[in-house]
Amino acid sequence: MDIIEKVRKRERLTKKEGEALYDLDLYTLGELADEIRTEKFGKKSYFNINRHINPTNVCADICKFCAYSASRKNPNQYTMSHEQILEIVDNSVKNATKEMHIVSAHNPNDGVAWYMGAFRKIKDKYPNLHIKAMTAAEVDFLSREYGHSYDEILDMMIENGVDSMPGGGAEIFDEKVREYLCKGKVTSKQWLTIHQKWHERGKESNATMLFGHVETRAHRIDHMLRLRDLQDKTGGFNAFIPLVYQRDNNFLKVTEYPSGQEILKTYAIARILLDNIPHIKAYWATSTINLALIAQEFGCDDLDGTIEKESIQSAAGASSAKGMHLEDFVGLIKNSGFIPVERDSLYNELKVYA
């Protein structure tokens, strides 16, 4: 059967067929992905009012692609106190923020109590505020550093108010590529295990893929299909986020950066292959807002959120350090021909900007 016909019949594609999708021209891929997106969500484009907090940049792990960690090029180490974190939360709540997205480096100087205590203090003060925190890489780090099992760490997260997990730390699942990128960090198998355990607790998470560096197209397809396989088991991923590699201020010497067409193809293929993950997010902090708006035509139905402040991607060259104003975000989505829909962290619709 022709691969285009198979996609239109909503039949699941194999790894080989997934790789073959890259051979289709951009407009055909976009059309196929847009059909699926429209079938699921019409012209709605989701976003939330969120705040990213990165409480420390001191890191025990060394990843070649990272420009944020203070253990490499960045000499300006910092670790926030709980009081500093709460001050940020207080100000963000005044701005109608509904999600705190908290991701840190892997700081060996602060124990489990520092991480969990911060979550507990936020949740005690703002019980209705959604806390999205702790990548699988952070869970693995705390497990290794302090001798807790994954189950113990995940249970502590829930007990202290974490509502959902972000998808960071996935990078690329291929073991050889992973060894080159981030040797010593959470393995692909461990990453998947941690998310499976989280889902089995009735909780949801995101999944990411860092692409545009040293991986091949085949590596991307393999990555997506491993996520699809786990989603078949758990159903706990609510969004897939292809993260575009940022090239500044890191030790990963990439000379061929992906074109806009390559990025859009990857978004479209994600929408086609991941038939069981509801949302595909064009995270504007890594793709640029302009490309993210175009990605709405290539299968993406979510643009993340206002962010307010962001430190990790912007350290590597992204223009996301100060986030984006709500009115600007809504206006850009409307002007691109889509309907802005404010959502909560679990994709319940809060407000439609018709």
Percent of the chain with pLDDT over 90: 68
- CA dist., res. 352 & res. 126, Å (int): 25
pLDDT at res. 247:
65
Give the global pTM: 0.89
In-domain check, residue 1? no
pLDDT for residue 332 is more than 50: yes
Once rounded to an integer, what is the mean pLDDT over residues 265-294? 94
Once rounded to an integer, what is the mean pLDDT over residues 31-36? 98
pLDDT confidence tier of residue 317, bands split at 50, 70 and 90 = very low
CA–CA distances in Å: residue 281 to residues 45, 109, 113, 151, 265: 10, 34, 32, 28, 14
In-domain check, residue 331? yes
pLDDT at res. 321:
46
In-domain check, residue 69? yes
pLDDT for residue 12 is more than 80: yes
Percent of the chain with pLDDT over 70: 86
Written as one letter, the residue type at 275 is D
Contact 244, 263 (CB under 8 A): yes
pLDDT at res. 328:
87
pLDDT for residue 350 is more than 80: yes
Once rounded to an integer, what is the mean pLDDT over residues 55-71? 60
Over the stretch 179-211, which tens digit does the pLDDT of each residue have? 887 777 899 999 999 999 999 999 999 999 999
pLDDT for residue 49 is more than 70: yes
Question: What is the domain range of residue 230?
Answer: 15-352
CA 339, chain centre distance (Å): 22
pLDDT for residue 279 is more than 90: yes
pLDDT confidence tier of residue 313, bands split at 50, 70 and 90 = very low
State how many domains the chain has.
1
pLDDT for residue 254 is more than 90: no
CATH of the domain at 26: 3.20.20.70
In-domain check, residue 5? no
In-domain check, residue 226? yes
Once rounded to an integer, what is the mean pLDDT over residues 41-49? 95
pLDDT for residue 310 is more than 70: no
pLDDT at res. 353:
94
Beta bridge mates, 341:
46, 352
In-domain check, residue 165? yes
pLDDT at res. 248:
54
pLDDT at res. 56:
79
Bigger pLDDT: 100 or 56? 100
Over the stretch 144-193, which tens digit does the pLDDT of each residue have? 989 999 999 999 999 999 999 999 989 999 999 888 877 778 999 999 99
In-domain check, residue 4? no
CA 193, chain centre distance (Å): 17
Instruction: Please name which of 232, 224, 166 lies closest in space to residue 194, comparing C-alpha atoms.
Output: 166
What value does the mean pLDDT of the chain take?
88
pLDDT for residue 95 is more than 90: no
pLDDT at res. 1:
62
Angle made by CA atoms 344, 348, 353, in degrees to the nearest 5: 80
Supply the DSSP string of 238-251, one letter for each residue: EEEEEEEPP-SSSS
In-domain check, residue 10? no
